[in-house]
Amino acid sequence: MYKAKIILATLALAGSTSIANAEEVSLWVRTSSGAVLQALAEQYSAKHEDKVTVTQITAEQMVPKLGAAIAGGSPPEGAVLDLIYLPTFAANDSLEDITDFVKGLPYTDALSPSHVRLATYDGKIYGVPALPDASIIAYNTDLFEKAGLDPKKAPASLEEIAEDAKKIHALGDDTYSFYFVANSGSWLIYDFLPHIWAAGADILSEDGRQATVDTPALKDTFAAYRDMWSAGAIHPTSRSGNGNNAVEAFASGKVGVLMTGSYIVNLLTSKYPDVKFDVAPIPGPKGGASSFAGGDSLALIKGVSEEKKKVLLDFVDFYMQPEQQVFITKESGMPSRTDLADQAYAQFDKRNLVAYEILAKARTPYTFSSDELFVSRTGPFLNLIQGAIFGDDVDGAVKKAQDEFTKILDRTNP
């Protein structure tokens, strides 16, 4: 009896020691991604002694709050944030180097290339994809057919879209061929810049340190947009709207082509099931295809303990597994890995595969001053689009943007 009590006491002590050694890590996430990450953290915590605790931060407050927490010495162990901010945090020595972990994954080559690129600084990797998305076009097949266009053939170039625009607009004064959000820098880097990338050009150098605004590809893109605007084929709220009515305008059956994102397939099929549409990659002015790789990446904060680092990286490997990738696809529209098409989309609309497949070619501006260059309502990118498409001096707008980009980069490059 005495021996049995000793054995039970030993087992109880071992159990309490195991619990005491369990780690709890804090993960900050944007509210836009909060529900999915919270569910994944709960799934992980239910199967492990270690726990991942998610704190949701309003998207607009994530970067300043995280920066302040790091500066104040009380940051979370990890953060899931917009991938475009990773170069800035990495350059400020705020993130943990996880190069060996990423390169050691058996599915490394299947990670979104742009997410890995944005997480790389000075040859080291500081983040992994969490919840990616990609930009695409949606087009109304009914309107294409009524305009004498082939509804089964997606426009192969922006110039073709501009030609189709006039035929679609000819169906009626209240019918427009094209909708894009011209009054938001965040929208424009998402669905305008892919035209440039599809043509093999860019607005920034590969390392993000130099402006390369003035290119033939950019001017060809502006020419197509100006052609549609002068023909009255662009939806009038494109110029000054914030995008809130973009989906509704397309769903009304009065817009031929919508510049949009990977979420559109599931949104239209669930909310507007009567809309006849298809999707395609974003074309360049004369051909090619590209996309903006958006969404979130997960990064570890510099100085995280080895024990907590191990838990967070184990959580990454957990949500990268096929079962969780299917869950992510169901909840947010796109998995983090590009090698799971069969599993991820088996039960979903196959049109989702268009965005999924273009993710491998998608890009994201690599910059240390994203907000000042692209997001600011008084910034050079938004001024460039407004001036070159709706103004009278394309060359002047391009030159001004090149000069303003250069000044900002010279001041903010690390």
Distances (CA, A) of 411 to 210, 368, 372, 404: 11, 10, 11, 11
d(CA 350, CA 318): 26
243 close to 264: Cβ distance less than 8 angstroms: no
Q: What is the mean pLDDT of the chain?
A: 93
Question: pTM value?
Answer: 0.91
Residue 316 has pLDDT above 60, yes or no: yes
Residue 384 has pLDDT above 50, yes or no: yes
Residue 251 has pLDDT above 80, yes or no: yes
Q: What is the CA radius of gyration of the chain?
A: 24
d(CA 146, CA 168): 8
Task: Please state which architecture CATH assigns to domain 134-292+367-412.
Answer: 3-Layer(aba) Sandwich (3.40)
336 close to 328: Cβ distance less than 8 angstroms: yes
Q: What is the pLDDT at residue 20?
A: 52
Task: Please state which architecture CATH assigns to domain 2-132+293-358.
Answer: 3-Layer(aba) Sandwich (3.40)
d(CA 380, CA 397): 9
Q: What is the pLDDT at residue 14?
A: 44
* Cross-strand partners of 29: 56, 80
Residue 218 has pLDDT above 70, yes or no: yes
Q: What is the pLDDT of residues 152-187, one digit of tens each?
A: 999 999 999 999 999 999 999 999 999 999 999 999
279 close to 265: Cβ distance less than 8 angstroms: yes
Specify the domain boundaries for CATH 3.40.190.10 within the chain.
2-132+293-358, 134-292+367-412
Residue 256 makes CB contacts below 8 A (sequence gap 6+) with 139, 140, 143, 144, 147, 164, 165, 168, 175, 176, 177, 178
DSSP assignment string, 9-78? HHHHHHHHHHHHH--EEEEEEEHHHHHHHHHHHHHHHHHSSSEEEEEEE-HHHHHHHHHHHHHHT---SE
Mean pLDDT for 118-133 is 97
